[in-house]
């Protein structure tokens, strides 16, 4: 049988939750309003599949550029290039500066 080439392939350890972290996340994380220019950390919540960024960006820091519907557009530098990531607020949290 051929090997799967899906988006979540090879991300078992990154997207796994610890036993006490299981279930829904706090509602404040979803309701938090971000302003343009805010720094955020991309922290993927594996229990919510919709609006999930690629696992390679898990733990990276970016800047909010705009709001697009429910999602946010995040710009970040990675590999000498500027990346644009569109993700929902469930998968981001404010960066502690």
What are the structural domains of the chain? 23-94 (2.30.30.70)
- Does the reported pTM lie above 0.75? yes
Q: CA–CA separation, 29 vs 33, rounded Å?
A: 9
- The span from the first CA to the last CA of the chain, in angstroms, equals 48
Class of residue 6 by CB neighbours under 10 A (exposed 0-12, middle 13-18, buried 19+): exposed
> Can you tell me the distance from the alpha carbon of 41 to that of 64, in angstroms, rounded to the nearest whole number?
10
DSSP symbol at 56: G
| Residue 9 CB-density burial (10 A; 0-12 exposed, 13-18 middle, 19+ buried) | exposed
The one-digit pLDDT tens for each residue of the chain (97 residues) are 888 888 778 888 888 888 998 888 888 888 999 999 999 999 999 888 899 999 899 999 999 999 999 999 999 999 899 999 999 999 999 998 7
């Amino acid at each position: 049988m051929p090997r799967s080439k899906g988006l979540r392939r090879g991300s078992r350890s990154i997207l796994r939750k610890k036993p006490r972290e299981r279930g829904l996340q706090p509602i404040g994380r979803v309701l938090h309003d971000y302003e343009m220019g805010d720094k955020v950390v991309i922290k993927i919540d594996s229990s919510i599949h919709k609006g999930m960024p690629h696992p390679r960006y898990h733990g990276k820091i970016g800047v909010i550029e705009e709001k697009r519907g429910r999602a946010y557009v995040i710009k970040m530098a990675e590999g000498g290039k500027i990346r644009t990531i569109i993700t929902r607020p469930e998968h981001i949290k404010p960066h502690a500066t």
